[in-house]
């Protein structure tokens, strides 16, 4: 289905601009880290403490990824193949950690167990925050699995457990790997949980070099190491992933016979409850219980409403501009595949592995020098959010646009429609569901986002996330509760819809 026709200039020019803008933080990092020359940069990195930092970061990253894969695959099994009642409800519950920012979840753990810190604390918070990234793609595979393979295995005398590991799980290898990569990148880039837990991994040390060392050169050098690490992980994943998962066939899954699984189901429900308690129960119950605590300040409803409006407005702007920026890149890479279009698409993806704090700092550095009048104005914050969230948007749009057959566009063009008219009348309606989902997720991410907002918000403004951070910094949890609850509620609605939709969609497939 390749169209070899060259991409129209109307796509190429904006796509190149967007890719260039996405790479701007890396330009900053290179300039800043080598500002005293290449030799000091090398000396900064080649040190015993960098090796220790690398070990600690990789250890946390690997531990959380393994744990999240185990829980995520289990959750995917529970919500598809296990045959539990209330699949939709389980899916929604298991998706909920996506609605709770890691810093809020970390605060709830610390307020509940003040002695929790370091590796253990970061591991717990991040594992329970991240497993849905594995669950969602694996669910998609499990719900389409051809049961005949399992039935053959079981008829040959294999136990259900062995059947699952030998027959079912390998079919979801690719989905599991892509979920694991998302978790690994999330852990490397997360700041909230490791900062609250005081675990000295890359993001915390980068922040320390910036905030306590007043040493932007060291912060930038370590950011580059982190970037290389993340790129290596991404490359390793695409090597390991190989081609399509085997055995995923369009054969409709038959309803499974239930008799032998009664005990397994009871056990599955029990284990699921044990997972839901720390991942959703602890944060939600803690946050609500904070409302009862004494506060040294009065939190006006109007303040929370005003912050919520700001968060919502910024979220909508971030989603819209992200969509507009991602569109030419995604259109080009799907409709006019070439080395250039692949490079542009990859360029938007590179910064995915940089912590939001680093992107925030680079936008401050470049923005105040390049477009001084816009500094600390909303457009610059929205710009940072676009850079932060464009990778997910490009990926979503590429998948969505692929669903619109190129033939239809060609017919439209042959009937004399302009390319813009064809896009609006043909491509857009077919890609709309993916486009809306991508926008909703971007909005959510922008509402939860903290470090770039702290750096770039106009002076005197607050968002829900900066309110949470400000009050939590002085341990005034009673004041943290209203904005934290508002974020969770705002985020829970689209998350619940996402979870319910994927559950219902998979069910109708089967």
SS3 of residue 117 by DSSP: coil
Query: Does the footprint of another protein cover residue 473 (CB under 8 A)?
Result: yes
Binding mask 407-446 for another protein (x = CB under 8 A): -------------x--------------------------
**Residue linked to tokens 């669910």:** 139
> Shortest Cβ distance from residue 366 to another protein (Å)?
10
Assess 301 for contact with another protein (CB under 8 A). Answer: no
Residue whose CB is less far from another protein, 42 or 324: 324
As measured in angstroms, the least distance from the Cβ of 432 to another protein is 15
Report how far residue 161's alpha carbon sits from residue 154's, in angstroms, rounded to the nearest whole number: 10
Tell me the angle at which helices 118-142 and 87-95 cross, rounded to the nearest 10 degrees: 140
- Does residue 54 interact with another protein by CB under 8 A? no
**By C-beta, is 131 or 210 nearer to another protein?**
210
Alpha helices in 34-117 (DSSP H): 38-45, 48-80, 87-95, 102-112
Work out whether 487 is an interface residue with another protein (CB under 8 A): no
Helix (H, G, I), strand (E, B) or coil at 471: helix
Residue 199 lies near another protein (rule: CB under 8 A) = yes
Q: Is 200 in the site for another protein (CB under 8 A)?
A: yes
Give the nearest distance from C-beta 211 to another protein in angstroms: 5
Residues with Cβ within 8 Å of residue 27, at least 6 apart in sequence: 366
User: Residue 331 and residue 184: Cα distance in Å, rounded?
Assistant: 28
Q: Does 198 bind another protein (CB under 8 A)?
A: yes
Shortest separation between residue 71's beta carbon and another protein, angstroms: 24
Exactly one of 2, 429, 458, 504 binds another protein (CB under 8 A); which one? 458
Assign 23 to helix, strand or coil.
Answer: helix
How far apart are alpha carbons 158 and 346 in whole angstroms? Answer: 44
Q: What b/e readout covers 75-88, taking b as 16+ CB neighbours within 10 angstroms?
A: bbbbbbbbbbeebb
Chain residues 303-322 in contact with another protein, contact rule CB under 8 A: 306, 309-310, 313, 316-317, 320-321
Residue from 70, 113, 232, 474 touching another protein (CB under 8 A): that is: 474
Q: Which of 376, 399, 417, 419 forms a contact with another protein (CB under 8 A)?
A: 376
CB burial class (10 A; 0-12, 13-18, 19+) of residue 510? middle
Using the rule CB under 8 A, is 59 a contact of another protein?
no
SS (H, E, C) 211-258: HCCCCHHHHHHHHHHHHHHHHHHHHHHHHHHCCCCCCCCCCCCCCCCC
Count interface residues toward another protein (CB under 8 A): 63
Q: Which of residues 16-35 bind another protein (CB under 8 A)?
A: 17-18
Among the listed residues 379, 410, 500, 510, the single contact to another protein using CB under 8 A: 379
- Residue for token pair 């912060």: 219
- Identify which of residues 41 and 90 has a Cβ nearer to another protein in the complex: 41
Residues 491 and 448 sit within 8 Å (Cβ to Cβ): yes
Residue from the set 413, 430, 454, 478 that interacts with another protein by CB under 8 A: 454
CB atoms within 10 A of CB 492: 20
Please identify, using beta-carbon distances, which residue of 306 and 399 lies nearer to another protein. Answer: 306
Give me the 328-367 binding string for another protein, x by CB under 8 A, dash otherwise.
x--------------------------------x--xx--
From CA 291, how far away is CA 58, in angstroms rounded? 37
For the CB of residue 130, give the shortest distance to another protein in the complex, in Å: 22
Helix axes 378-402, 9-33, angle to 10 degrees: 130
C-beta of 473: minimal distance to another protein in Å? 7
Q: For residues 448, 450, 456 and 458, what is the CA-based torsion angle, rounded to 10 degrees?
A: 60
**Which residues would be at the binding site for another protein (CB under 8 A)?**
14, 17-18, 49, 110, 114, 117-120, 198-200, 208-216, 296-297, 306, 309-310, 313, 316-317, 320-321, 324-325, 327-328, 361, 364-365, 368-369, 371-379, 382-383, 420, 454-455, 458-461, 470, 473-475
């Amino acid at each position: 289905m390749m169209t070899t026709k060259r991409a129209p200039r109307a796509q190429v020019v904006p796509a190149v601009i967007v890719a260039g803008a996405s790479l701007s933080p890396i330009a900053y990092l290179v300039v800043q880290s080598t500002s005293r020359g290449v030799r000091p940069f090398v000396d900064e990195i080649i040190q015993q403490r960098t090796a220790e930092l690398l070990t600690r970061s990789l250890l946390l990253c690997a531990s959380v990824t393994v744990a999240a894969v185990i829980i995520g695959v289990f959750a995917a099994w529970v919500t598809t193949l296990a045959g539990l009642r209330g699949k939709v409800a389980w899916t929604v519950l298991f998706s909920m950690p996506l609605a709770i920012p890691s810093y809020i979840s970390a605060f709830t753990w610390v307020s509940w167990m003040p002695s929790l810190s370091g590796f253990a604390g970061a591991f717990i918070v991040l594992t329970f925050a991240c497993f849905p990234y594995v669950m969602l793609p694996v669910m998609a595979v499990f719900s389409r699995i051809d049961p005949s393979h399992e039935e053959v295995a079981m008829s040959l005398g294999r136990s259900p457990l062995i059947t699952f590991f030998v027959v079912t799980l390998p079919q979801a290898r690719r989905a599991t790997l892509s979920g694991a990569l998302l978790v690994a990148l999330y852990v490397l880039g997360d700041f909230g949980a490791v900062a609250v837990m005081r675990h000295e991994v890359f993001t915390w040390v980068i922040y320390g070099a910036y905030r306590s060392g007043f040493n932007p050169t060291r912060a930038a050098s370590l950011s580059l190491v982190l970037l290389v690490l993340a790129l290596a992980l991404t490359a390793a994943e695409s090597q390991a992933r190989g081609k399509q998962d085997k055995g995923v066939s369009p054969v409709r899954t038959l309803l499974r016979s239930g008799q032998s699984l009664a005990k397994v189901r009871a056990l599955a429900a029990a284990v699921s409850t044990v997972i839901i308690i720390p991942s959703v129960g602890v944060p939600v119950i803690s946050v609500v219980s904070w409302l009862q605590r004494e506060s040294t300040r009065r939190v006006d409803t109007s303040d929370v409403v005003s912050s919520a409006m700001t968060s919502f407005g910024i979220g909508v702007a971030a989603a819209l501009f992200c969509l507009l920026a991602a569109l030419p890149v995604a259109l080009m890479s799907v409709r006019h595949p070439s080395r250039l279009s692949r490079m542009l698409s990859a360029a938007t993806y590179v910064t995915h592995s940089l912590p939001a704090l680093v992107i925030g700092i680079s936008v401050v550095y470049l923005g105040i020098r390049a477009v001084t009048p816009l500094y600390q104005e909303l457009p610059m914050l929205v710009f940072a959010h676009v850079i932060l969230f464009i990778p997910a948007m490009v990926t979503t749009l590429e998948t969505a646009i692929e669903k619109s057959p190129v033939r239809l566009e060609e017919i439209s063009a042959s009937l004399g429609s302009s390319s813009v008219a064809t896009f609006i009348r043909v491509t857009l309606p077919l890609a709309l569901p993916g486009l809306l989902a991508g926008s909703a997720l971007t909005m959510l991410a922008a509402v939860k986002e903290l470090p770039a907002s702290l750096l770039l918000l106009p002076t005197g403004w607050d968002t829900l996330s900066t309110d949470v951070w400000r009050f939590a910094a002085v341990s005034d949890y009673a004041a943290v509760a209203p904005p934290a609850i508002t974020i969770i509620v705002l985020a829970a609605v689209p998350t619940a819809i996402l979870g319910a939709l994927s559950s219902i969609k998979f069910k109708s497939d089967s």
